[in-house]
Chains A and B, each alone.
Chain A
Amino acid sequence: MIPTLIGIVTITFILVKMRPDPVSMNAFSAEGMKESSASEKYMEDMRKYFGDDKPLYVQYFKTFKNLLTLDLGTSRIDHKPVTEKIAEALPITLALNIITIFIVYLISVPLGVFSALNDSSNWDNFVTFILYLLYSLPSFWVALLLIKYLSGGDYLNLFPLAGLSSVGYDEFSLWQKWQDLMWHLFLPIVVSVYGSFAFLSRFIKSSFMEALKSDYIRTAKAKGMTKRRVVYIHAMRNSLIPLITLMAGILPELFAGSVIIESIFSIPGMGKLAFDSIHSNDHAVIIAVVSFSSFLTLLGILMSDIGYTLVDPRISFEKEEAA
């Protein structure tokens, strides 16, 4: 895990430093002409202020020192500490993604099981068709359509256009706050959820069908277990175990999806922060956001590994015996 993180930070660092130096870039107008207001002296000062005047290797090690001490510098744009910006954005993105994962699993698992039990039936074909249709719709397009037709009032005004809270949020009661939040999050969640059904439910279908074909299922039938018991006890347990690992695989995708969704819906989370910081060439923020997202992804993988050992006796016991 640690080497992976070092690698990610290194690559991000190289990519960021390959872009033009932000100070001089800002000093140029859109046409590429040097603006007169930015004197050489001012640019020197700014470089010094952000530490861009030091040799690259010094900046490189400083990046790690900053990450380790959680002192991530300040944003070039609004001069706020980066740590503070991340502390504000992270809970929002986490909440969005946790709700997303929860809903995706809640819907995909029954769908997958249903399809496995009714393999190649008309219903299965119908479900498959719909899921792949959803899968193939680009999320930015769906997001814009939803906004156009369901919010803003051009057609319907069911949902807010953007943001996370309504005016006067601070005076709301707790229940009102919760309602307001859900109201704002509804469309973003719909958009981040619908594309994942196909992948997950097809995965569950195939792993369930695999389980249904196995020898121990024949044994369970030969013992006189009821159909329900065979399916929901004997096959279920086995086919749900791989889902735990899968959760880790979905995480990076969700983080990537957050960039689009949060930007479109103006949700001040990590995705929007990443998008904005790349746009404004805000080095400190880019490095911090990328490092944090990858750290969380790796953490997710680690957690799913731990979850795996908790659920699958074969793995947990091997470790126990080895210890």
Chain B
Amino acid sequence: MKLAVSAKKTSAKTKNLLSIENLKTGFHTPEGDVTALRGVSLHVNEGEILALVGESGSGKTITGLSALKLLEHPAYIESGFVNFNGENILEYDEQQIINFRGCKVSMIFQEPMTALNPVFTIGFQISEVLQTHLGMDKKESMKKAVELLKDVGISEPAIRVKNYPFQLSGGMRQRAMIAMALAASPKLLVADEPTTALDVTIQAQILALLKNLSRKEKMAILLITHDLGIVAQIADRVAVMYGGDIMETGPVKDVLEKRKHPYTRGLFESLPSAVVVKGKQLKKLKPIPGQVPSLKEMPEGCPFRGRCDKEKKECAEEIKLKTSGKNHKYKCIY
């Protein structure tokens, strides 16, 4: 691999914690290989919350997993870099990646019901992280696990630590997941739709918790979601993803107000929570016509062009990145 060259380039920028550059991934399928990410570039600065939004199937989870080098067969990486603190983690060996995961970067998942191992206690699963990454012994790590559970707002942590996942509610499990993810004080948390499976009041609590923890621990979050309402609430910057590519990215205020890309507009107008975003009342919900094409049917050029009402001939060609304002970029011919 000839990836090392560019890795050095990014290490100069100190504020930059994670930067994914031109990442191309695909899947081996029985019908042949398909491309999933078509050259994703994004970065997360220290301590900030970057929201990655997009419809189901746009490639958000794959992007998140690649930040921990968690893509596994049948997924493959074609080209690109995933740099963390200037090091290309895609080149890490087995031992390096183990020291990296859960220690520098953690991840929590959409389904708190299945993401915890059903046959081990919460305490066991948290203390495991502490023992591996901080070298604590059993007793010490159990004590620390109780503290961690308390920090994420679980009541009676001393009892809960001995509970099995099935004895906890969905919201509590997600809190336990967060406690586990934060155990070794990582610099970055990848949160893959952490509230999608929870009911609305719990959602708000979990989001508030994440935001607080991010501030308190100076931990950056790559927050994957399909809900622009959540983006407006807690993110600093946002990246809008579609068809395995970033369509628009920039500070939340710029992106949500300017909405340069037609897909961002469509997303904004089609989500119920957009009705109350920033107090602006939208007239009517307007769903984006059509569906996300399957990976095999993804069109050349702009992936959104089949569903866009402003499609032109040029859309079939490669789209250049345009700039609007300081850090606000988008990929559209308009």
A residues with CB within 8 A of B: 214-216, 218-227, 229, 234, 237-238, 241, 312-314, 317
Contact = CB atoms under 8 A, between A and B. Distances in A.
Contacts of A241: 119
22 contacts: A216-B118, A218-B115, A219-B109, A219-B115, A220-B117, A221-B70, A221-B101, A222-B101, A222-B106, A224-B184, A225-B128, A225-B132, A226-B98, A227-B94, A237-B117, A237-B120, A238-B119, A241-B119, A312-B119, A313-B164, A314-B118, A317-B164
B164 A216 contact: no
B315 interface: no
Nearest to B114: A215
A216 B115 contact: yes
Given A219-B177, A227-B94, 20 more contacts: A214-B114, A216-B115, A216-B117, A219-B116, A221-B101, A222-B68, A223-B101, A223-B180, A224-B103, A225-B98, A225-B132, A234-B117, A234-B120, A237-B117, A313-B119, A314-B118, A314-B119, A317-B164, A317-B166, A317-B167
B101 A224 contact: yes
Contacts of A229: 128
B222 to A, nearest CB: 13
A223 B109 contact: no
Task: Give the residue among B100, B118, B180 with the most A Cβ atoms within 10 A.
Answer: B118
Contacts of A222: 68, 70, 101-102, 106-107
Given A222-B101, A224-B101, A225-B132, A238 B70 contact: no
A246 B71 CA distance: 34
A238 B100 CA distance: 26
B133 interface: yes
Interface in B31-78: 68, 70
B101 to A, nearest CB: 4
Nearest to B94: A227
Contacts of B100: 224
Interface in B92-135: 94, 97-103, 106-107, 109, 111, 114-120, 128-129, 132-133
Contacts of A216: 114-118
Nearest to B190: A222
A212 to B, nearest CB: 10
A65 to B, nearest CB: 47
Contacts of B166: 313-314, 317
Contacts of B118: 216, 238, 313-314
Nearest to A222: B107
Nearest to A240: B119
Nearest to A315: B166
Contacts of A214: 114
B117 A218 contact: no
Contacts of A312: 119
B102 A215 contact: no
Contacts of A219: 109, 115-117, 177
Contacts of B184: 224
B109 A215 contact: yes
Nearest to A214: B114
A238 B118 CA distance: 8
Nearest to B167: A317
Interface string B282-294: 0000000000000
Contacts of B119: 237-238, 241, 312-314
B62 to A, nearest CB: 13
Contacts of A225: 98, 102, 128, 132
Contact of B111 (A215, A221, A223, A226): A215
Contacts of B181: 223
A317 B162 CA distance: 12
Closest 9 A-B residue pairs measured CB to CB?
A224-B102, A224-B101, A223-B102, A215-B114, A216-B117, A222-B107, A313-B164, A215-B115, A219-B115
Nearest to A316: B164
A56 B157 CA distance: 67
Contacts of A317: 164, 166-167
